[in-house]
Amino acid sequence: MTAQNTDFIAKLLQMEELANTVNGELPETFLLLKTRVQHIVVLAKNLRARLEFGSIAIVAVEPRVLPPGDAKTPPL
């Protein structure tokens, strides 16, 4: 991990913590604003996770099953 990535991760963590603080201090009457701040928290958390853990690839571990009506299946 580069120093630039480490710095960006730290800034995302600060953004997440500040948004959590703001969300906690907002009264319940500002529901739309609280929702937007929660979206900021989720976005910062997701970006930070991508940088910290990298992308996850999903690959098949078993052979692919042919769908019904495939060319290898004789018609009825």
Residue 57: pLDDT over 80: no
What's the pLDDT tens digit per position in 28-39?
999 999 999 999
* pTM of the entire predicted model: 0.64
Over residues 6-46, the pLDDT tens digits come to 999 999 999 999 999 999 999 999 999 999 999 999 999 99
**Tokens 């960006």 label which residue?**
8
**Residue ranges per domain, the chain?**
3-53
Residues 6+ apart with CB under 8 A from 41: 16, 19, 20, 23
